[in-house]
Amino acid sequence: MSLKIHLNRCKGCGICVAFCPKQVLAVSEVEKVEIVDESKCIKCGQCELRCPDYAIFVEK
């Protein structure tokens, strides 16, 4: 597991989804971030850097 998500903090704004260069993430029906395909993650950290809610972190 390299992505850690705090669902209680996520507001489903979609910023992480838009800035992820590898389409790893999506916003679910309940307006929370979800992982679509973690195997594509290159740990670039864009999601963590841009998330305004401290809801997603890349574990090194």
Residue 34 CB, shortest distance to other proteins, in Å, is 16
Cα separations (Å) of 38 from 27, 53, 58? 14, 21, 11
Q: Give the burial string for 10-27 (b: 16+ CB within 10 Å, else e).
A: bebbebbbeebeeebbeb
Nearer to other proteins by Cβ, of 40 and 54: the residue is 54
Binding mask 1-40 for other proteins (x = CB under 8 A): ---x-x-xxxxxxxx-xxx---------------------
In the complex, the residues that contact other proteins under the rule CB under 8 A are 4, 6, 8-15, 17-19, 48-55, 57, 59-60
